[in-house]
Amino acid sequence: MYARAVRFTGVGPETIANVRAEVESSDGPPPGVTATSMKMLYDADQGTSLFIAFFETEEDMATADEIFEAMRDLPKVCEYLHLPAQSGSNSVLKRMKRQYSVEVYEELLARGREFVPNMTIASDFIVGFCGETEAEFEESLALMERIRFKNIFCFKYSPRPNTVADKGMTDDVPDAVKRDRNRRMLETQERISLAQTQAMIGETVEILVEGYSKAAIKAQEAEQTRGEEVSWRRSDQLVGRTSSDRIVVFCGDESYIGSLAKIKINGATSLTLFGDPVDKPNKQAHRIAEATELAVQSSQMSPVRRGENGGISISISG
């Protein structure tokens, strides 16, 4: 399990611990979440500082419930799961040598949503893998429609040296077809994501404010419509995230940075929510300026790998 704990100072996020807790395996799949890994979660949640923990793990499906329980029970663990599917076709997964089926993947997500009904889910897909037919690709689109991911990362297949596919399979899907499938998959996800974010217009959400938003300025210049048109001043545009890892942009002063704030949503793109604060910054959250160390014992330290959207990430080993 890879973990990164972050506290927020008056100027933004500061990493206070990078921990790598090894999950060792011999011939079979990883045995699951280790006691050390779970102790790390629960010890961190008891700390006096406000922080977010980001995780990337490779666990056996049978023990994923322990992660779901932590997401349900620990307020400081995000209700967000990044679970790569790679494909919605069992025949493609078999050629990829993945040790799971589409049915097992969907069963795991259904179980997760039983623990955490509001959990958002992101995924990875590969299009144009060796031998992928149009029907197999459409199975991936169908999986996306059923799961309703928050967002996905889509990659066109390309051979990697010394992999099973490179040694024993032919990269026989034309590049033009890969590009077309990549486009169609991203368009499908954009439609799904936009429906989710637009449904949140009018809601009030709590976010952890990360800092000033440079990305939001670029987005505002490039996009003219997002539900309801909203005008922003460059000097006070802030960004934060909900507990389900949705990005929220609003106008406010630096006193909000590092605090919890309630924002009423009045606009949305497929990936970003826009709104106005409904109260003052939660000053109690500024206790994060206090020095805090996580009581975590790990045999090996290393930089953490974090996906673009952070959050908890469980990869099905294959």
The tens digit of pLDDT for each residue in 118-128 reads: 999 999 999 99
Checking DSSP bridges between strand 312-316 and strand 80-82, what pairing results, if any?
Answer: parallel
Architecture per CATH, 204-289: Beta Barrel (2.40)
Rounded CA-CA distance 119/113 in Å is 6
Instruction: Summarize the confidence of residues 134-151 as an average pLDDT.
Output: 97
Express as a percent the part of the chain with pLDDT over 90: 42
Q: With beta carbons less than 8 A apart as the criterion, state whether 120 and 80 touch.
A: yes
Grouping H, G, I as helix, E, B as strand and the rest as coil, residue 295 is coil
Rounded CA-CA distance 300/257 in Å is 32
Domain at 2-199+291-316, CATH class: alpha beta
Q: What pLDDT score was predicted for residue 163?
A: 75
Residue of higher predicted confidence among 254 and 101: 101
| Residue 152: both structure tokens together | 């996905």
Taking 70 as the threshold, does the pLDDT of residue 287 lie above it?
A: no
Instruction: Summarize the confidence of residues 132-141 as an average pLDDT.
Output: 98
Which segments of the chain belong to CATH 3.30.750.200? 2-199+291-316
Which segments of the chain belong to CATH 2.40.50.140? 204-289
Eight-state DSSP code of residue 170: -
90 Cβ contact list (under 8 Å, min separation 6) = 101, 102, 103
Q: Is the dihedral of CA 159, 163, 167, 173 positive or negative?
A: negative
**Cβ burial 33-54 (10 Å sphere, 16+ → b, else e):** bbebbbebbeebbebebbbbbb
Q: What pLDDT score was predicted for residue 264?
A: 97
Taking 90 as the threshold, does the pLDDT of residue 192 lie above it?
A: yes
